[in-house]
Amino acid sequence: MSNLVELLISGLSLGSIYALIAMGFVVVFKATEVVNFAHGSILMLGAYVIAATYSRIGFPAAVVAGLAAAATAGLLIDRLLVRRLRRRTHTALAIVTIGVDIVLAAELARRVGTDVLNMGDPWGDDTWRVAGFTFPVARLAAIAVALVLIAAFGALVRYTDWGVAMRAAAEDAETASLMGIRLSRVSLVAWMTAGVLAAVAGLFLATFPSPGLSATANTTALRAFPAVVVGGMDSLGGAVVGGLVIGLAEALTAGYSDHLLFLGHGLGDVAPYAVMIAVLLWRPTGLFGTKELSRV
């Protein structure tokens, strides 16, 4: 029983991290129609900068540097590539981000090498015991930070001028532009915000109980893609729900893997993808995605 509660907390924590990744992905898609396959590498860039700088400038400053690096990566992709490619097909835009991902992932994997980098976070492997349960502090911190960020981001989308503009652009970019909405600003803020959210997620993905930042962190981040698809590619609420579903599925299958050995070792790693296929067979545009109405 205590096992189940601990697994649920661990799943929620993982899920809220995935939700951060998924929200960034969705906001970029809504604002610019780009399916950003470089998202995992941007996440890893943020985490890497934190890991590489904390010993010199201290953890808080390192986090700021990591967030700034990821936001800058988003900014550069937006300014140098996405902007020039407006009016191209989804596939063309997605392929550009694959190109960026190839380069960024190669460089980061080279720098990390075969090491596992410590993130220098203050929680370390501390645990918190309450009523017979044991929770890693890093996991609780992840939930707390993610909740704050999800709420802040929700408010940003709902109440600020940028949020209104972003939603209008997502509905119909052409009309929004005619109404005086500056699409380039919408796009820029979306990419930078997505970078910040990804970097925070990257930090928590590499803290306890994970051993640290490894060369394959960007692949781990890809597990948030099922969260995006499960929730529906153009739904921010869906991203949060999808993240939690995927996180719980992963934590529970990993936690009960001893009972699921007939399905093989390392089941937690593939659970997100299995859930995604199941959901897609049922609803081809995810749980909350809008059905694309063809306009002809």
Partner 1 sequence: MSALRVDGVTVRFGALVALDAVSFTVEPGTVHAVIGPNGAGKSTCLNVLSGVYRPHAGSVYLGDRELTRLRPHHIARLGIARTFQNIELSGTQTVEDNLLLGRHHLMRAGLVATALGLPSVSREERRHRARVREITDFLGLSAAIDRPAALLPYGLRKRLEVARALALEPRVLLLDEPVAGMDTAETAEMAAAILAVRAELDVTVLLVEHDMGLVTRIADRVTVLDFGRRIFDGSPEAMTSDPDVVAAYLGGAPPSDSPRAVSPSALLGGAPEGEK
Partner 2 sequence: MSDRLRRVPVVAGWVAAVALLAVAPLYVDAFWLQAGLVTIAAAVGAVGLTLLVGAAGQLSFAHAFFLAVGAYGYAYLSGRSSSGTTVGLGVPPVLGAVGAVAVAGALGLAFSPVASRLRGIYLGVASLSLVFVGQHLLQNLTSVTGGFNGRPTPAFTVAGFDFTGTEPELTIAGVPFGAVERLWYLSLLALAGACLLARNLLRGRAGRAWRMIRDSEVAAAVMGVDVRRGKASAFVLSSMFAGAAGVLSALALDRVVPDYFGLLLSIEFLAMIVIGGLGSVAGAVTGAVFVTALPLVLARYSGVLPLVADAGSGGVDASVLARFCYGAAVVLVILVQPDGLAGLGRRIRSRLRRTTPPPPQSGPDACPAGVLQETP
Instruction: Please count the CA atoms within 13 angstroms of the CA of 164 that sit on its side-chain side.
Output: 6
With a CB cutoff of 8 Å and minimum separation 6, the contacts of 111 are 48, 52
**Looking up tokens 């904390």, which residue turns up?**
54
Residues 189 and 193: their CA atoms lie apart, in Å, by 6
CB 290, min distance to partner 1, A: 12
- Asked if 87 interacts with partner 1 (CB under 8 A), we say no
- Asked if 296 interacts with partner 1 (CB under 8 A), we say yes
Q: Which is nearer to partner 1, 2 or 175 (CB)?
A: 175
CB 99, min distance to partner 1, A: 22
Tokens linked to 121: 């976070």
Strands 133-136 and 127-130: what pairing?
antiparallel
With a CB cutoff of 8 Å and minimum separation 6, the contacts of 56 are none
**Looking up tokens 């939930």, which residue turns up?**
143
* Per-residue x/- track, 276-295, partner 1 (CB under 8 A): -----------------xxx
CA end-to-end span of the chain, whole Å?
Answer: 56
CB 273, min distance to partner 2, A: 4
- Asked if 56 interacts with partner 2 (CB under 8 A), we say no
CB 84, min distance to partner 1, A: 20
Where do contacts with partner 2 occur on this chain (CB under 8 A)?
A: 35, 37, 81, 84-85, 87-92, 94-96, 98-103, 105-107, 109-110, 113, 219, 222, 225-226, 228-229, 233, 263-267, 269-270, 273-274, 276-277, 280-281, 284-285, 292, 294, 296
